[in-house]
């Protein structure tokens, strides 16, 4: 016999933009892509064609727009919590609501040396990500993150001392290019309810700014012995900077740039210390991941 062991459903790729008109005549904008997923007493729709408990995915989309009109969308961690909490309060048969938000960059333009009051530019594919899970009697768990932050350094990276056997071809190096697209997440302690998230709301932008700065500065400053060590140092620093964060995760592709041997052309030197022209590789790439957890487990208030 078959059994439905897990089910959830919702609306993905709900795109919205909210403008904010300030008293001084300037405006701010936030563009996000939202995904909502509901769980609870919903199995009959799958197993008995009974849709009575199904809050239509269209309703979830309309609710997302209405909540964005009624409430601030920043910090996005608070908005995700408000939206998730709405679903479990509004519908007694919904026990958990997961809200994922991707915030896209609209950075204020500088025009004639001054911040422009209402014009913005997309300065990169990097996004800010949030997942909030609101659970009946289980509080609100939040994961914040950075995705697709593309970084590159032309030196200040090494990789040597690794295991060697008959399958090993890679030479050791004390000077190489390092490039990655940063995916980092940090998991907050569980919040009791939306009111607690609201009380702590100032921490979310600070943590995002700190995590981004730590990522960039560690990447640039460290003479990296490996992607593994670099991401561990970044994680440790984020845990130090954000006391309510319990764990940090990094997932870093190692985007390879291969040296090209041009010695066939008049003995041209283009390897080792003479390397200048490289071949960027689209694939395959290394993929290095870690989770670093605060010792003792719990984040401190």
- The binding site consists of 57-58, 159, 176, 227-228, 254
Please state, in angstroms and rounded to a whole number, the distance separating the CA atoms of residues 39 and 243: 31
Q: Residue 170, interface with ligand URC (CB under 6 A)?
A: yes
Active site residue 57: yes
Q: Residue 139, interface with ligand URC (CB under 6 A)?
A: no
Q: Binding to ligand URC (CB under 6 A): which residues in 222-261?
A: 226-228, 254
Active site residue 11: yes
95 Cβ neighbours under 8 A, 6+ residues apart: 39, 40, 41, 88, 135, 136
Q: Residue 129, interface with ligand URC (CB under 6 A)?
A: no
Q: Residue 159, interface with ligand URC (CB under 6 A)?
A: yes
Instruction: List the binding residues for urate.
Output: 57-58, 159, 176, 227-228, 254
Beta bridge partners of 145: 129, 185
Q: How far is the CB of 247 from ligand URC (least distance, A)?
A: 22
Based on CB atoms, which residue is closest to ligand URC, 2 or 170?
170
Neighbours of 172 (CB within 10 A): 10
Please state, in angstroms and rounded to a whole number, the distance separating the CA atoms of residues 230 and 291: 13
Based on CB atoms, which residue is closest to ligand URC, 134 or 227?
227
Based on CB atoms, which residue is closest to ligand URC, 210 or 249?
249
Q: Residue 72, interface with ligand URC (CB under 6 A)?
A: no
Site string for ligand URC, 88-127 (x = CB under 6 A): ----------------------------------------
Residues that bind ligand URC (CB under 6 A): 159, 170, 226-228, 254, 286, 288
- Which positions are catalytic? 11, 57, 256
């Amino acid at each position: 016999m078959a059994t439905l062991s897990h089910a959830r459903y919702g609306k993905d790729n709900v795109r919205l933009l909210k403008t904010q008109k300030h008293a001084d005549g300037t405006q701010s904008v936030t563009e996000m892509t939202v995904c909502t997923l509901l769980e609870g007493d919903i199995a009959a729709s799958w197993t008995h064609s009974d849709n009575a408990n199904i809050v239509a995915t269209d309703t979830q989309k309309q609710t997302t727009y209405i909540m964005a009109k009624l409430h601030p969308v920043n910090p996005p961690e608070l908005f995700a919590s408000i939206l998730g909490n709405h679903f479990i309060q509004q519908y007694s048969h919904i026990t958990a609501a997961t809200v994922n938000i991707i915030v896209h960059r609209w950075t204020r333009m500088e025009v004639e040396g001054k911040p422009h009051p209402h014009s913005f530019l997309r300065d990169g594919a990097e996004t800010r990500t949030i997942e909030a899970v609101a659970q009946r009697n289980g509080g609100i768990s939040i994961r914040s993150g950075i995705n697709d932050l593309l970084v590159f350094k032309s030196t200040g990276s090494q990789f040597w001392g690794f295991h060697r056997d008959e399958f090993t071809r890679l030479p050791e190096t004390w000077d190489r290019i390092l490039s990655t697209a940063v995916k980092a997440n940090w998991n907050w302690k569980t919040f009791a309810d939306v009111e607690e998230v609201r009380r702590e709301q100032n921490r979310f932008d600070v943590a995002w700014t700190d995590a981004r700065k730590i990522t960039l500065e560690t990447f640039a400053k460290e003479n990296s012995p490996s992607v593994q060590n670099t991401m561990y140092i970044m994680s440790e620093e984020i845990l130090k900077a954000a006391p309510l964060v319990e764990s940090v995760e990094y997932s870093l592709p190692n985007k390879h740039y291969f040296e090209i041997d041009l010695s066939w052309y008049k003995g041209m030197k283009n390897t080792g210390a003479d390397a200048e022209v490289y071949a960027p590789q689209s694939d395959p790439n290394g993929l290095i991941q870690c989770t670093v957890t605060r010792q003792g487990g719990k984040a401190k208030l």
